[in-house]
Amino acid sequence: MIPLYHEVITLPLTRLSTDFIVVGAGVSGLRAAIELVSHGRVLVIAKDSLRESSSEYAQGGIAAALSDDDEIELHEQDTLVAGDGLCNLEAVRTLVEEGPAAIEQLIEWGAAFDRQGSKLLFAREGAHSRNRVLHAGGDSTGHEIVRTLRHQAGQRPDITFQSFTSLIDLVQNGSNEVAGVLALDEHSGSTVFFEARGVLLATGGLGRVFENTTNPDVATGDGLACAWRAGAEIADIEFVQFHPTALYVPGAPRFLLSEALRGEGAYLRNASGERFMERYHPLKELAPRDVVARAITAEMQRLGTRHVFLDVTHFAPGFVQKRFPRIYETCLRYGIDLSSMQAPVSPAAHYAMGGIRTDLFGRTNLARLYAAGEAACTGVHGANRLASNSLLEGVVFGARAGSAMAELSPANSTAEPTQTNPAFPQIAEHELRSLTWRNCGIVRNRSDLSEACSMLKATPRRALPSPVRADFELRNMHQTAYLIAAAALARGESRGAHYRSDFPKKSPHFQKHSILNNSGSGLDAQIRFL
């Protein structure tokens, strides 16, 4: 399928073949690659270095019912409650039932989770009814899981890694099957057609679409936008989780201050020094993330401030340094000594519950295209993800997608990619991100969402003679921002992470999943609820 708004260009085009392509080197991509490798050659493509992914930065932990006082049914119930009536029950059961074995396998592979003596150490985070969250290095859980999976993958000679290679588009053959990907190799500056019997998109999140985000710069919705352009269905993309507590220091990145801090007893205080969460939810600081994020936003608006404070100064001496070494050192770098000072925090875009619509084995509506992790939507998170379920999702559903993809036979027809140069949106990135944050952020309404849709559809486009990575990223961010705005506008209710000030209540009419289809005409999306 040739992308919309294209002109033929003459950049060098290289053609390479393999059996399976995995786009993304985070938890879900690596786990899928390990599952695939016994069935053929696997190429893992990373847009940046192999160490740059949202998984790498995940602090909070990985949740599973492994402790003596926990049960799978309790984990399931907590996930369903957080999902606010929109979870796919079968997906949730798959996650919580397969989660314990998936973590035990990581331990067998060498993952060093924190322990007290010889026993695993379990912590509690918001909306969990039991202590079931495992951590590694205090607050470096994602890093440890990625390290473990990368080590496993690196021992297998049929897994090849290609870094600094940006996804441009999916390529389909004459049978409309996905036959590979078109990518920009930054090492050579050339365009490459990677051909394979199956493609897995494990490209992570989309947080950079928003002005304020905890995500790394690579999170530009690439897999989502490329899948959309090829005709894949997108589900529940209006549900974007805004983490309540990102560090707010001018000139500093919006570094995440883990929910585990509140799980250990941290307080939230407004500019007047008051603990305010009891006014918003009986669980106070341990309320679901969407509740806490809106509460912080309300307090900032009420008092005319740009942040609130996270207070851990009442913790025992030395505790925060030992339990949260990475967070402590990062805050110290920006002049905040958590042992004696309150940290200024405010919400930031953190996680997309929606994504490329898949079944429980990562299959999309396009033949030979799979997706897993944050880029995918199985419905497991519903309208709001339960804390520390994301790393678990990556491990469980990454493995399932790999196992299903491994069954693919070689394609019957070949693809001849047309070298194209899409028309790129003529909007500054900071303007796009500001628009998305302002109009599609924590609190939404019809007027703002309609304005966002109109402005994004009206954005001028033009072809570029020699597009670079930043141009392709901006195209994907523009596409993704529109999908979020359109889906949020169509959902006339408030549910989970999606809050409409003009529709502040849940509606039974919308206890359904939003499904977006490409109309084949520009940015227009066909939206239905199932």
| The predicted structure's pLDDT at residue 22 | 98
Q: Indicate the residue type of 178.
A: V
| The predicted structure's pLDDT at residue 460 | 96
CATH topology of domain 245-348: Flavocytochrome C3; Chain A, domain 1 (3.90.700)
Does residue 295 contact residue 281 with C-beta atoms inside 8 Å?
yes
Rounded to an integer, the average pLDDT of 180-206 is 94
CA distance linking residue 291 with residue 269, whole number of Å: 15
Per-residue pLDDT tens for 425-457? 999 999 999 999 999 999 999 999 999 999 999
Per-residue pLDDT tens for 144-155? 999 999 999 999
- Residue 105: pLDDT above 90? yes
If you average pLDDT over every residue of the chain, what do you get?
92
- Residue 56: pLDDT above 80? no
Q: List residues with catalytic annotation.
A: 289
Per-residue pLDDT tens for 340-355? 999 999 999 999 999 9
**232: helix, coil or strand?**
coil
| The predicted structure's pLDDT at residue 55 | 53
Considering the entire predicted model, what is its pTM? 0.93
Which segments of the chain belong to CATH 3.90.700.10? 245-348
CA distance linking residue 402 with residue 44, whole number of Å: 13
Q: Indicate the residue type of 300.
A: M
Going edge to edge, which strands form the sheet with 133-134? 62-63, 133-134, 122-123
User: DSSP characters for 391-451?
Assistant: HHHHHHHHHHHHHHHTTPPPPSS------EEEEEE-S-HHHHHHHHHHHSSSSB-HHHHHH
Rounded to an integer, the average pLDDT of 64-69 is 94
- What Å distances lie between residue 74 and 34, 97, 114, 293, CA to CA? 30, 11, 23, 25
Per-residue pLDDT tens for 341-392? 999 999 999 999 999 999 999 999 999 999 999 999 999 999 999 989 999 9
**DSSP assignment, residue 217?**
T
- Residue 459: pLDDT above 60? yes
Per-residue pLDDT tens for 241-289? 999 999 999 888 898 898 889 989 999 999 999 999 999 999 999 888 8
**DSSP assignment, residue 237?**
T
Question: Band of the pLDDT at 185, cuts 50, 70, 90?
Answer: very high
What are the percentages of helix, strand and coil residues in the chain, rounded to 5? 35, 20, 45
- What Å distances lie between residue 295 and 228, 270, 375, 442, CA to CA? 34, 10, 28, 10
Which option is the CATH number for 423-529: 3.90.950.10, 3.30.365.10, 1.20.58.100, 2.60.40.2220?
A: 1.20.58.100
CA distance linking residue 247 with residue 234, whole number of Å: 31
| The predicted structure's pLDDT at residue 419 | 58
Which segments of the chain belong to CATH 1.20.58.100? 423-529
Rounded to an integer, the average pLDDT of 459-484 is 96
| The predicted structure's pLDDT at residue 482 | 98
